[in-house]
Structure formats: structure tokens, C-alpha cells
Amino acid sequence: MPTQRRDAAIVGIYEYPKRKAPGVTPLQIKAECAARALEDAGLSWKDVDGLYDAQDGAGMAGLSLAEYFGFRPNVIDTTAVGGSSYEFHAAHAKRDIAAGRCRVALLTYGSTAHSDARRIGTMGGGGGGAPSPLSNMTDPYGMTLISNYAMVARRHMYQYGTTSEQLARIAVATRVHAMRNPQAVQAMTDLEFQDIREITVEDVLNSRMIADPLHLLDCCMVSDGGGAVVIAAPEVARDCRQTPVWIIGSGEATSYSENGSDITVSAAAQSAPRAWAEADVRPGEIDVAMIYDSFTITVLVMLEDLGFCKKGEGGDFVSEQRLRFDSPLKPALNTDGGGLSSNHPGMRGIFLLIEATRQLRGESTSQVPGARLAVAHGNGGMLATSHTGGTIVLARD
Amino acid sequence: MSDRPQPRFPEPDTQPYWEATKEHRLLYLVDRDTGDVVFFPRRHNPKNGSSNLEWRESKGLGTVYTFSVVRLNRHPAFAELGPYAVAYVDLDEGFRILTNIVGVEDPTRDIFIGQRVKLTWLDQSTGISIPVFEPA
């Protein structure tokens, strides 16, 4: 029945278990995750010939990361487009493997955002670095990252009647999954969440307003963490320890606010149709949707732009019990507990690939019975201004 | 109160824009050939790559496209402000600016999408002035 091409598969995954990791560096996290993901695949350090890196390794990127790791790769790809970088990397790895440029591609991520006390969401503006036209036009206004996404939420509410209650349902479903995932529970414990339990819509609405209309529980955590993904050619994948999870479609896109543009439409509206067409599947067939949940509004917009429902109907779509792993309705959403309740060290994209792979192997802590098809959609940058969207469609045999 | 983050120079694309704020003039760019409005300022038209652009002065009237009231910003200049509104305003000349909405009693209650607003200025000790908007 599957007609898709089988050019490359995810064969190894590893998620760094700690969300609070003082005393280690992002580079050390990357290297440890690399070793564990290769072990998961049944491959070794010397098998790696493609290195994909989002330049997150504390000054050692690309070439110097290869040296730090001890690789002499045939392909180095340092695409850094924010949290979706890993979906871009997966797309590039598949392309490079299909072209015969490499056979074993390694994606790694490491971050100590929590231990560094990086105020990712609540520190706007006022940049360091070289001045740019964009920084000069935005720095004086105090636009935090959260308020940037909140402006999309506000406009979505205005255009489509979306409510805070509907957004809250995304956080509620995600927390159900987090409570089933011991790593997520430990994460919330280590990061000193006030109430580590399943939450209600009222809990979300009663949590502190951070930037209207987004409450505290509409926002992801800032953790430490990291992970690694190994992608291999079919002839390698066949001999790996794990069932291969095939990359059957990909799409990449960039979007930004322009004069007169509609900021409720994200880059996913461009990246997703390409990915679906290549994979030859429709959104309605997808069992598990791993969607970047920096905020609840991010998920709502992406569900629409991925085509799970029509533009503007996201509020009603998530109002059903649909998003839970045990719902008969598809798709299940963010079954690891998401960035909202499990893991968000700044660039969550790699965890979308990791949990989607777990689901298609049958290994999730909130396993969707018989899951065969998954999508991972990463969002990078700032949703109301400039951002990227990377869509990866995954299938098991 | 701490100073707000200021635009930094040299930055040739936006320098003329900020120079004009010293005289309380809000400038934008127009493509002389196509009439396209170009904003944020840069030397080319992002629709066609042309550099045949000219500066024009906005009348400073527009409509709130969207906004958020920020309750938590750890930057010292904003931490002390209390809730304040970040917004996109669509100017009548056809460009969209990131800005603040000021001059309201309660930003959580008195600002709405579609609201007509007019330009006002926050003079800075650096000599430039920051264009912001208040209800028209």
C-alpha cells in the first residue's frame, strides 16, 4: 500500500533525560546524545559521514564541531533557522543521502538555557550584536518573544472568534501526556512547576497573564536539554537495531509580516503542502502530530496551516477531545508532553522528530495504538515577524 | 527610569528614518516606478530589487492591526512601566509599523483591533524620538 519513496530513515534517537543540568556544556550534551543515538541505532562513531548542526554548540559549529566530535564528514550542514532547524536538517539529510553524498547523518542539539537563566520569552528588546535594520525598528518597543506570539493570538481571535478557552485545551491535552512521561514529570519537578498534575481549562485561564492574551500556562518552559537523531540510507537502515522510520515527505518555508499581510497564516501553509504531496498522504491519515508548542497559539495556527482543519477553524478543532493519545479521533498531539510540559531548551525541533519516531516504533509513554504515520512540524523564529516552518512526514513500514 | 533600548548606528538602511524623528517626521519609502510602499526602510524594494526609491512623510494616521499588553519584561526600561501595549499599526499610506499604543488609561481595556490611532512621540535623551500611537 505505501507508494512513498524510501530514501532515508531515522534509525537512532536519544533525548537527554535532564532538564536541569548545571555543570555540563551544550557541546557535552551534544556529544553524549550522539553516542547514545548511535548506540540506539546499532551504529558506531566512525559510521557518521554527515553532520547537521544548528550552531548551538557554544562557539563550536560546523567545522569546529566536527573536530570536537572527531568526525571527518563528507557533508556539513549548519542551517540555523531557530527551533525548526532540525526539520530542515532532516529534509537535507534525506536529500543528501538520496544523492549519495552521505550514508549516516547525525543531528545533535544541546542547550543549557535554564541553567544560564536565559530569559528567552520575557526579555525584549534591546539586542546585543551588530545593529540591523530590523533590530533598529523593533528594539525601542519592548516586544518580548511572548508578546510577539500573543499578537498572532489576538489577531486570530479577532478574525475567527477563537477564544482563550480553546487555546487552553491544547495545554490541557499536552499536560495529560506529560503526566504519563516520567521524564516530563521530573522536568516539571526540577523546574519547580507549582502544580504537577493534570490541569483544567480554568487552571490555564487563572494562571498569570504574561502578555495578553497568553497566560503562563499558554507558554512553554525554559529548560536545559538536548538530543540526537541518526538518519541513514536504506541499505544501512536494514541492518540497524531499530525498526526504520522513513522520511517520506518534507517541506521548508520562510514567512514574515509584510505591509498588509495576514499574520494568522504561518510558514507551515507553504511547507506543509509540499511535504504532503511528496509523501502522498493527507493530513486526515496522520496518527500523531508533533507540532512545535512554544505557545498554545503556535499549535492552533499550525494545525490549520498543516491542513488538519480549515483556516480559522482551529478553535473548534481543538475543542474536541481529539488531541489526546487515547482519542479515537486523529491526530494525537505532542504525546511526550511538548514544550509546554516536558522539554523546551530553546529549539525544540529535534524532540518532534524523536517522539514521532518513538510513536512509530511503538515506544511512546502515551502510545497511539497502531500508529503508522506521523508529522513533525517545527517553527523557528518569531511567529508575528519572521519565522520558518519545517514539515517532515514519517512512516513505518 | 532606565532608557529604552535605542537604535544603534552606523546602520545605513534605517539611519535617515531615525534622523527624521529628531524633527518629529515619520518617513517611509516608495518605489518611484511601481508605487510600492517599502517599510521597514532599506535601500531596495523587496518586491523587485529596484533601488529607485524615495522617502515620503506619513500623515501619522492609522489603524491598530493587532496588539498585546505586556505584563512581564525583565529589561529594566520596561520592567518599571507597568502593563504596556506593543502593537502593529497599519498606516493609511499602506505600511505596517511595530510600535506602542500610549495615552490610554488602561491598556488592557482601552485598546482594540481596528481602533483609529494617531502618531505621537517619545523624545529620547539621545536626540532621536520614538514614534508611538495614541487613540485618534
The interface predicted TM-score of the complex, written ipTM, equals 0.97
Which residues from B are below 8 Å from A259, CB to CB? 37, 39, 90, 94-96
Assign 3-class secondary structure to A211-260: ECCEEHHHECCCCCEEEEEEEECHHHHCCCCCCCEEEEEEEEEEEECCCC
Look at residue A127 in the predicted model and tell me its pLDDT.
61
Look at residue A120 in the predicted model and tell me its pLDDT.
79
Reply yes or no on whether the pLDDT at B80 is more than 90: no
Look at residue A156 in the predicted model and tell me its pLDDT.
98
Residue of A126, A136, A214 with shortest CB distance to B14: A136
Distance from CA of B73 to the nearest CA of A (A): 5
Reply yes or no on whether the pLDDT at A339 is more than 60: yes
Contact B83, B69 (CB under 8 A): yes
- Cβ distance of B69 and A212 shorter than 8 Å: yes
CA–CA distance, A106 with A41 (Å, rounded to integer): 11
Look at residue A200 in the predicted model and tell me its pLDDT.
96
Look at residue A43 in the predicted model and tell me its pLDDT.
98
Angle between helices A296-305 and A268-279 (to 10 degrees): 50
Mean pLDDT of chain A: 95
pLDDT band with cut points at 50, 70 and 90 for residue A125: low
Measured CA to CA in angstroms, residue A262 lies from A163, A255, A267 at distances of: 19, 11, 12
Cβ-based neighbours of A209, under 8 Å, separated by 6 or more? A215, A216, B69, B71
Which residues from B are below 8 Å from A158, CB to CB? 66, 113-114
Measured CA to CA in angstroms, residue A83 lies from A86, A182, A377, B43 at distances of: 7, 24, 10, 30
pLDDT digits 0-9 by tens, A129-181: 789 999 999 999 999 999 999 999 999 999 999 999 999 999 999 999 999 99
Most confident of A1-15, A47-61, A208-222, A316-330: A208-222
> Nearest-CA residue of chain A relative to B43?
A133
Decide if B10 is inside a domain: no
> What percent of chain B shows pLDDT beyond 90?
89
Which residues from B are below 8 Å from A127, CB to CB? 5
Instruction: Tell the CATH topology of A9-116+222-396.
Output: Peroxisomal Thiolase; Chain A, domain 1 (3.40.47)
Look at residue A107 in the predicted model and tell me its pLDDT.
98
Mean pLDDT of chain B: 96
CATH of the domain at B85: 2.40.50.840
Distance from CA of B112 to the nearest CA of A (A): 9
pLDDT band with cut points at 50, 70 and 90 for residue B76: confident
Decide if B114 is inside a domain: yes
pLDDT digits 0-9 by tens, B102-114: 999 999 999 999 9
Contact B41, B14 (CB under 8 A): yes
- Cβ distance of A154 and B68 shorter than 8 Å: yes
What is the residue range of B105's domain? Answer: 15-135
Lowest-confidence segment of A25-39, A115-129, A282-296, B95-109 by average pLDDT: A115-129
Number of domains, chain B:
1
Reply yes or no on whether the pLDDT at B95 is more than 90: yes
Decide if B41 is inside a domain: yes
CA–CA distance, A276 with A299 (Å, rounded to integer): 18
CA–CA distance, A76 with A55 (Å, rounded to integer): 11
Look at residue A1 in the predicted model and tell me its pLDDT.
43
Is the pLDDT higher at A12 or at B80? A12
Decide if B87 is inside a domain: yes
Which residues from B are below 8 Å from A262, CB to CB? none
Contact A120, A346 (CB under 8 A): yes
Is the pLDDT higher at A262 or at B74? A262
Q: Where are the domains of chain A?
A: 9-116+222-396
> What percent of chain A shows pLDDT beyond 90?
92
Distance from CA of A209 to the nearest CA of B (A): 7
Grid-cell match 512540524, residue found = A377
Q: What is the mean pLDDT of residues A96-117?
A: 96
Look at residue A123 in the predicted model and tell me its pLDDT.
75
Mutation to test the A interface, candidates B73, B91, B93, B121, most A Cβ within 10 Å = B73
Mutation to test the B interface, candidates A135, A136, A164, most B Cβ within 10 Å = A136
Reply yes or no on whether the pLDDT at A2 is more than 50: no
pLDDT band with cut points at 50, 70 and 90 for residue B1: low
Decide if B122 is inside a domain: yes
Look at residue A320 in the predicted model and tell me its pLDDT.
62
CA–CA distance, B97 with A38 (Å, rounded to integer): 48
